[in-house]
Amino acid sequence: MGKSKQDPTKPPKKPGLMERLKTGPVICAEGYLFELERRGYLQAGAFVPEAVLENPGLVEQLHREFAHAGSDVIEAFTYYGNREKLRLIGREKDLEPMNRMALKIAKKVARDTGGLFAGNICNSTSYMPDDKATHKPVRKMFDEQLGWAADAGVDFVIGETYSHGGEALMALEAIKAAGLTAVITLAIPTNGVTREGWTPEDTCMRLEAGGADVVGLNCARGPRTMLPLLKKIRKKVTVPMAALPVAYRTTVREPTFQSLNDRHCNCIPRDHPFPIALDPFTCNRFEIAEFGKAAYALGVHYLGVCCGAGPHHIRALAEALGRKPPASRYSADMSKHYIFGSARKLHEQHRLYAGELRNRRGAA
């Protein structure tokens, strides 16, 4: 018998997450909460994704901007869209509509762009490792969100931003019980261990043993203070790894963006830049590119940027990994700048001035 031919009326099956990770990097844009707060469509503090219901077109547009910049993953904007958070703002009745709308939006963009369609669950904010009474309600919150994600046909689920290793394991168990591929990432606090005192590498080993498909870190730490932890984890696990730092310049002294202090400003409420006065600490696109290259060299293939990310960061990451997304058409070309450029079509006077500026910088 001859080989059966694919039905020409059906689009070819796209490679899944694990298949893509075997052949190269997978880029995932996150940071929707911060970006939509900056644009004035979401409230800092509660950080509930209300824009999904109130401004769905804006959420769709942001998905498209990230895809245009190089994101392979279209992640449903259900971060903090859980029962606990909606109860906090008096919108518990909107839980299911909000989740289903977020999944519908992401699925549409993934279909249009050829991206991977990801569901999302996250830290519940109510899990307490020593209080068993919190465990069942948290697992129930995971299960209901995962049920809607499964109904929507997600390609995989991202379980993220866990500072409790036990909660990360609970999220993993729930994802696997739903029969879905699991990417589990931890947010490691200032002291360098989970809230229970587990090291990041030990926690990732436990997650690998529990059946996680991808393990790693996201949020809390910027490139400079995430990279050393990734090196330790890479030595201990064999599954693919993920790394999605915040787009802020954290330091050894202040290793998380929650711990940053601005010594040049005395008008910040509570004298605490997190979360709405972090602007002076923002990483530029070149710092994100350097992080991407360094992490990929370690063998970390699932890469992205979390809180603070903009499409320009995602484009820089994609380009650093050898990609040329549609947004690369507009990547900077300073040779055409009228003062700093060198293009022959520029007016001679401008080119001479640009040369003088370069010489001054070299002499400084």
34-43: average pLDDT: 98
pLDDT for residue 4 is more than 80: no
Given this model, what pLDDT does residue 343 score?
Answer: 76
Average pLDDT along the chain: 94
15-24: average pLDDT: 97
Pair of tokens at residue 235:
């030595």
**Are the beta carbons of 137 and 126 closer than 8 angstroms?**
yes
Pair of tokens at residue 87:
């109860």
From CA 206, how far away is CA 168, in angstroms rounded? 10
**Are the beta carbons of 156 and 183 closer than 8 angstroms?**
yes
**Are the beta carbons of 17 and 295 closer than 8 angstroms?**
no
Domains annotated for the chain, with CATH where assigned, are: 17-331 (3.20.20.330), 333-364 (no CATH)
Q: pLDDT, tens digit, for every residue of 76-104?
A: 999 999 999 999 999 999 999 999 999 99
The CA R_g of the chain, rounded to the nearest whole Å, is: 22
pLDDT for residue 8 is more than 90: no
Residue ranges of E strands in the chain:
26-29, 73-75, 116-122, 156-162, 182-186, 214-218, 241-244, 302-305
pLDDT for residue 66 is more than 80: yes
Task: Indicate the burial class of 349 (C-beta count within 10 angstroms; 0-12, 13-18, 19 or more).
Answer: exposed
CA proximity to 80, closest of 307, 342, 347, 243: 307
Q: pLDDT, tens digit, for every residue of 305-340?
A: 999 999 999 999 999 999 999 999 999 998 888 778
pLDDT for residue 1 is more than 50: no
CA proximity to 307, closest of 270, 253, 260, 265: 260
**Are the beta carbons of 136 and 105 closer than 8 angstroms?**
no
Given this model, what pLDDT does residue 65 score?
Answer: 98
Residues 6+ apart with CB under 8 A from 71: 27, 28, 29, 115, 304, 314, 318
Given this model, what pLDDT does residue 80 score?
Answer: 98
277-294: average pLDDT: 98
Query: Taking the model in full, what pTM does it have?
Result: 0.93
DSSP per position, 81-132: -SHHHHHHTT-GGGHHHHHHHHHHHHHHHHHHHT-EEEEEEE--S---TT-G
Percent of the chain with pLDDT over 70: 93
110-117: average pLDDT: 98
Residues 6+ apart with CB under 8 A from 313: 247, 283, 285, 288, 305
From CA 26, how far away is CA 16, in angstroms rounded? 11
